[in-house]
């Protein structure tokens, strides 16, 4: 639409209004992103990053300036797909979460929980927020526990003597074939029971 005022008569009110709407939208994006304690990005509708916070800088290794204008798929390929779903649903304040992976600047793959929400500012502009929680250490710890559990199971199974693995309350977690034969219970009957069924204190 042509501006009813020329440059000699002053600034165009339509241009000023559009500029104000854009500034308000970016202000909302910045305020929300910077308030988060976890890595968070503000996204435009085309998937480019408009805002990033310090936790995101620390997690991914990019500077704030390197983040701005970068496509979110270069960091988290799944984010763009989730953003498209939200846009199709057109559901402001709707939040979708899922486990996926992200890639930091050095190329290292990270396990993350991705939360992506769609908000509508005062200017009716759609603003997306990508919230990421690093699960890498949790996944590594989980793998370590699983490895120890498998090792424990293998050691017990390899024993010719009756052996059990129990928790702090005495609940049977693992039992070997020798124990089943010695006490006449099946593995399914043993697991989950308290060790007191075969070893009562008197």
Alpha-carbon torsion angle 55, 61, 64, 67, nearest 10: -110
pTM for this model (two decimals): 0.58
Mean pLDDT of all residues belonging to the chain: 80
Task: Please give the C-alpha separations between residue 57 and each of 49, 62, 95, 105, 200, in angstroms, as whole numbers.
Answer: 13, 5, 23, 10, 58
Judged by average pLDDT, the poorest of 15-24, 40-49, 151-160 is 15-24
Quick check: 27 and 119 in contact, CB under 8 A?
A: no
Element containing residue 182 per DSSP (H, E): helix 177-183
CA 33 centroid distance within chain: 16
What's residue 95's pLDDT? 62
Q: What's the burial of 10, exposed, middle or buried (CB within 10 Å: 0-12/13-18/19+)?
A: exposed
What's residue 68's pLDDT? 96
Looking at the predicted structure, is the pLDDT value of residue 16 above 70? Answer: no
State pLDDT tens for residues 127-182: 889 999 998 776 666 666 667 777 777 788 888 889 888 888 899 988 898 999 99
What's residue 9's pLDDT? 46
What does the buried/exposed string (b/e) look like for 93-120 if buried means 16 or more CB atoms within 10 Å of the residue's CB? Answer: eeeeeeebebeeeeeeebbbebbbbbbe
Place of tokens 């199709």: 88
What does the buried/exposed string (b/e) look like for 160-188 if buried means 16 or more CB atoms within 10 Å of the residue's CB? Answer: eebbbbeeeeeebebbbeebbeeeebeee
State pLDDT tens for residues 58-78: 999 999 999 999 999 999 998
């Amino acid at each position: 639409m042509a501006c009813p005022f020329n440059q000699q008569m002053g600034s165009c009110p339509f241009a000023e209004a559009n500029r104000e709407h854009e500034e308000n939208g970016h202000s909302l994006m910045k305020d929300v992103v910077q308030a988060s304690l976890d890595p968070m990005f503000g996204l435009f509708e085309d998937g480019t990053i408009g805002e990033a916070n310090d936790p995101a800088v620390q997690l991914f290794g990019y500077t704030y300036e390197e983040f701005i204008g970068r496509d979110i798929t270069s960091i988290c390929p799944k984010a763009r797909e989730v953003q498209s779903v939200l846009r199709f649903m057109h559901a402001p304040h709707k939040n979708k979460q899922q486990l996926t992976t992200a890639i930091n600047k050095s190329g290292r793959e990270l396990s993350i929980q991705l939360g992506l929400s769609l908000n509508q500012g005062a200017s009716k502009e759609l603003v997306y927020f990508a919230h990421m929680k690093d699960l890498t250490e949790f996944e590594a710890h989980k793998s370590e526990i699983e490895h120890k559990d498998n090792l424990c199971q293998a050691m017990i199974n390899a024993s010719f003597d009756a052996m059990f693995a129990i928790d702090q309350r005495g609940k049977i977690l693992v039992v070997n074939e020798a124990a089943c034969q010695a006490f006449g219970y099946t593995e399914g009957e043993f697991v989950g029971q308290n060790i007191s069924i075969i070893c009562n204190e008197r």
